[in-house]
Structure 1
Amino acid sequence: MESCTFCSIIADRRPATWVEREEHAVAFAPLPGSALAPGHTLVVPVAHTADLLSADPTSLAACTALARRVGLAMRGALGATGTVLLQASGADAGQSVPHLHFHVVPCWPDDGTTHWPEPPSAHVHEGDPHADLRAMFE
């Protein structure tokens, strides 16, 4: 997609600090100044996919496999003792670029970060939300 920031990076029309390039997924550093931690890396499918809910199985599998390898590299190269995998689908979830992407963020003891949404959602659902979800699979 011509106007997509990540598609432009993948097509080498925009600069990137590459970590890995594979057939169905790539990994690169976020924009300068936006990293959540040293080594924070984005994993993105090569095929333009708006979000997690519209992803094809091949792209999704390639991204999760690459995210795992990036996390292992963070452990080996950076001494990270944990990783957080962040993904937002849709503007209301905070997705800023409409191309599926995963943030792989390395963590260390006492690094001062939290990666869990705070406070919890104020949305109220009438009924049992898990029963309603389960019904969608029946």
Structure 2
Amino acid sequence: MDQDDCLFCGLLGDRGTAAWVSREPGAAAVALLPLPDSSLAPGHTLVLPAEHCVGVHDASPRALHAVADLVQRVARAMTNAFGADGVNVLNASGPASGQSVPHLHVHVVPRWPADGLDTWPTSLSQHEVRGDIRARLADTLSTPATPEHPTF
């Protein structure tokens, strides 16, 4: 999917209506409320980069930094505005993750004691990876990208 077909890019281009929480001219990240029927808690907010990228794999460092900064600002605002005692920060990137919109976005969900919401996984993956998982990750992280194995 390219940005012409992207729901969030459409909203950023003023094609559609959004409940903007933070949308400053020239900002690298924006924040909006999800549709009311998909809000997990009062004040649940989506933070996304202004540039199109599908997920954390292909996002530019600038986009990731801007999103992380705005996530922190939104979390602090939830504490100050709603008295939230914590937040859950959720992201799904890639087809197998359950990502609903193929544009990087982070859910910031305010939390209160005994609020009845469970956002932590309740089951474990059944997928097996053979070999030394730590070593494979460490080796891959320390190896420069090649055309056969890009860093996206």
SS of equivalent residue, structure 1 residue 59: helix
Structure 2 gap ranges (5+): 143-152
In the superposition, the TM-score normalised over structure 2's length comes to 0.88
Q: Which residue of 2 aligns with 1:122?
A: 126
After superposition, the C-alpha distances for 1:74-129 in whole angstroms (9 at most, x for unaligned) are 00001100001101111101111110000000000001112211201111111121
What root-mean-square deviation, in Å, do the aligned CA atoms of Structure 1 and Structure 2 show? 0.9
Equivalent residue for 2:15, pick from 13, 16, 19: 13
- Runs of 4+ in structure 1 displaced over 4 angstroms? none
Q: Which amino acid aligns with 1:82?
A: G
In the superposition, the TM-score normalised over structure 1's length comes to 0.96
Structure 1 gap ranges (5+): none
Q: Which amino acid aligns with 1:56?
A: S
SS of equivalent residue, structure 2 residue 67: helix
Q: Which residue of 1 aligns with 2:50?
A: 46
- Indicate yes or no: 2:95 matched with 1:99: no
Q: Which has the larger radius of gyration?
A: 2
Moved more, 92-101 or 123-132: 123-132
CA distance in 2, matches of 1:124, 1:137: 20
- Note the C-alpha offset of 1:62: 0.5
SS of equivalent residue, structure 1 residue 106: strand
Q: Which residue of 2 aligns with 1:81?
A: 85
Equivalent residue for 1:71, pick from 65, 75, 79: 75
Q: Which residue of 2 aligns with 1:4?
A: 6
CA distance in 2, matches of 1:32, 1:7: 20
Equivalent residue for 2:40, pick from 36, 41, 46: 36
- Note the C-alpha offset of 1:52: 0.5
After superposition, the C-alpha distances for 1:7-44 in whole angstroms (9 at most, x for unaligned) are 01111111011100131000000112001111000001
CA distance in 2, matches of 1:4, 1:58: 20
Q: Which residue of 1 aligns with 2:148?
A: none
